[in-house]
Structure 1
């Protein structure tokens, strides 16, 4: 009898785990249609006018100068938004780069927490007023803080609606890793606190697609992350808008071609291989409009969204062919790696690297 107890208990545990997994799977809402279609709302117009702003910024380097620097950057951005809205065709969407208000934030976590913006806030209220005045969506990236996430530094993409209200604050899904040899990016992403993020906001908010009167739009700051963009597309994205501080031109073109979407990136001007070149790319991979590396100004492109949407289905992804390989792939850095007491959060890029090294499933086998 005793010999039977252990196998029975093990069987019960396996059944319980299996039931928990099935229950979790069943609780996930439907996010992808099985017939290749996707959800939309009626279009307000056949052709969308998209404008990108490419501008340099003054970086916040010292806490005591933060307010002055942000105000200087804000005035520059406001002038460019007015220029975008009063020259050429009226824009339906104005897209800015990753950090148009704060620039890149220098220093450790303590300093960045004090210098990052709270959204909504005084600065965003002025952009909200412009969005309402000119009846346009305004989209921009920023370092940000949130009282619900004390001492975490967020990289948010904020969408201001035509009514002048903040429509959406979109978290960066994940940071690029092992790209730099001596440090890792310290911002908190969806991936790094995934369980708590889903608990607070729901799994649909991990990779949200906005179904607007101008088309289905996805927004992100991630780069070189093709699975993210494919997931956006599976959820119905037609236009993928991205904000950047230096970027890879080929990444934008590949995203458009591989996912049959319109792809755009707003970048900062810089005389480097990764500077400037803010662009809008058609699903064919053709560059519809582009600024050069060092130009400050406004880029305009017209997207024939109604024609594009006609009879469109989701792309043909090789899920069945590759799923067994994907199941065997072991991610090096586990999710939820920044889900820890705030006093234990890494204070800089070097400490972040130490943390990731300690958690690495590849280095610690």
Structure 2
């Protein structure tokens, strides 16, 4: 978390030009748009479970059927045990898992949203009268050749209420590869042209509070931007995560947050990083947690009405930090994946080559 002050300051500069934009993104008086609450307190349930990769099944259809049935069973369990949920949060890849291969092959291990899977989950959401939230690798005809990482919210009516693109990928995650999925950052101009600036940090205003969903890790600028847009509950999906990140981010931005992590086989080298899903309050205090690497469903009731009473968006130090951040140059430029389909990197190694090529922070030998 050592770079948190710098990230927050960079966000201040980035948003300081909002007044020049056609669409108002942040209210100048600290208020934010809401819809009336249906009730004062809501129940969040977070599912953590082992996800199987589609690549490991004889056919993709069998894999999707297996993983969808697992989600179905866990949703029905969440709806029948304990308090009735208002939100059920799954992890980053409950339907697809993570599969290796070149781009053309990996595109086969994605889903379309909306599609058959969201239709089936929509029936469950309607039956349980709950929102269902999950992440997935996805494909979209509007983005041929691109592998998207989307977080989907299915509403109580069974319909897809919102799709949240991943804002950006972590960089320098491994020395010989970079994540090749497409994010808002690496197709920024085209994304804004297609969906508008409001879609950079979309907020779903529900009768249970203002929500957003993200798979981003350790990136306080992104989560502060969501706070400025009026988020009250920040849902997060993960494959590995830092508990400190979730707790600190909720505290910095004065909102509730929940993280769903996957579990790993007991003999996996990643087993110690599995599970640990949490729900935290706006002070960063843990309301519910399962520290194990086992399948589990945790729950917490949150007082959304009490949070909303008299609440303003956080007060960030924009003016005093502007001179420093106006000179800050990110290592990687926007739009580095806005290239012809046949030029998209085929895998993580090729993505590493591309990122090294476009980096503004190149080191000289």
Moved more, 29-38 or 77-86: 29-38
Contact 1:177 1:184 in 2 (8 A): yes
Equivalence map 1:132-171=2 (5 Å)? 132-171=126-165
Q: Distance in 2 between matches of 1:134 and 1:344?
A: 45
Partner of 1:233: 227
Equivalence map 1:1-365=2 (5 Å)? 26-61=20-55, 65-270=59-264, 272-363=271-362
Q: Distance in 1 between matches of 2:19 and 2:311?
A: 29
Query: Shift of the alpha carbon at 1:27?
Result: 3.8
Secondary structure of the structure 2 residue equivalent to 1:168: strand
Spell out, residue by residue over 1:219-273, the C-alpha distance to the aligned partner (whole angstroms, 9 max, x if none): 1111011000000000101110000111111110011111111111011124644
Q: Distance in 1 between matches of 2:138 and 2:121?
A: 16
Q: Distance in 2 between matches of 1:63 and 1:303?
A: 39
Does the C-alpha gap of structure 1 residues 25 and 153 become closer, same or farther in structure 2, counting only changes over 3 Å? same
Contact 1:54 1:278 in 2 (8 A): yes
- Give the structure with higher Rg (CA): 1
Moved over 4 A (4+): none
Spell out, residue by residue over 1:256-306, the C-alpha distance to the aligned partner (whole angstroms, 9 max, x if none): 111111111011124644321110011111100001231212111111000
Q: Distance in 2 between matches of 1:63 and 1:25?
A: 51
Contact 2:37 2:209 in 1 (8 A): yes
Contact 2:272 2:293 in 1 (8 A): no
Does the C-alpha gap of structure 1 residues 278 and 295 become closer, same or farther in structure 2, counting only changes over 3 Å? same
Contact 2:92 2:261 in 1 (8 A): yes
Q: Distance in 1 between matches of 2:230 and 2:140?
A: 29
Contact 2:57 2:63 in 1 (8 A): no
| TM-score normalised over the length of structure 1 | 0.91
> Structure with the greater relative contact order (CA < 8 A, sep ≥ 6): 1 or 2?
2
Q: Distance in 2 between matches of 1:296 and 1:24?
A: 44
Query: Shift of the alpha carbon at 1:28?
Result: 3.0
| TM-score normalised over the length of structure 2 | 0.91
Number of residue equivalences: 343
